[in-house]
Amino acid sequence: MTHTVKMPYQRWALTGIAALSLLGSAGCAASPTPAPGNGGAAGGDAADTAVPGGGSGDYANGTYSATGSYQTPGGEESIGVTVTLESGAVADVQTEPMPSNGTTELYQGKFSSGIKEQIVGTPLDELSVDKVSGSSLTSGGFSNAIEQIKSEAAQ
């Protein structure tokens, strides 16, 4: 990788991180009650979005888009960011690469990514799929051994 092509990525990464942390904290500050006892299956504290202190700010639900620009050796480049707010929290973030030259296109496309603030489950029987991929299926030997230990321990 050469210097020339590395720069857009580094610049983009900085812009992206700054934008996301800002939105993350804004989203949290705006939610008045973080749903106590929200014993959702995907429980776990959203520690890295929680920012203590009194941000006020009311954020209306909706989808917000903005375009950021940065300088590259090949000229100015832009990247779009779209954020969806629900109940005062960031529900979705999408980035849209807008490269104007081939080098940037390659790197924006490869490195831009999306972030979902909270995964959401849909029951498998409501989906029309061919297969399932996930960790519960990956090791029968392991599961059998654990089951055996459990049953031995129960005797």
CA distances from 55 to 4, 45, 50, 52, 151 (A): 40, 19, 11, 8, 52
Specify the DSSP class assigned to residue 138. S
Any long-range contacts for 16-20 (C-beta under 8 Å, 24+ apart)?
A: 16/79, 16/81, 16/95, 16/112, 19/66, 19/68, 19/81, 20/93, 20/115
| Stretch touching another protein by CB under 8 A, among 29-37, 56-64, 65-73, 118-126 | 118-126
Q: Which of 2, 32, 45, 53 binds another protein (CB under 8 A)?
A: 45
Q: Which of 3, 60, 129, 155 binds another protein (CB under 8 A)?
A: 129
CA distances from 4 to 103, 110, 124 (A): 9, 16, 46
Query: Using the rule CB under 8 A, is 14 a contact of another protein?
Result: no
Query: Using the rule CB under 8 A, is 44 a contact of another protein?
Result: yes
In the bound state with another protein, the residue whose beta carbon lies nearer, of 38 and 56, is 38
Query: Using the rule CB under 8 A, is 22 a contact of another protein?
Result: no
C-alpha span between 70 and 55 (Å, rounded): 29
Site string for another protein, 72-111 (x = CB under 8 A): ----------------------xx-x-----------xxx
In the bound state with another protein, the residue whose beta carbon lies nearer, of 42 and 60, is 42
Q: Which residues bind to another protein, rule: CB under 8 A?
A: 1, 9, 13, 41-49, 94-95, 97, 109-124, 127-146, 149
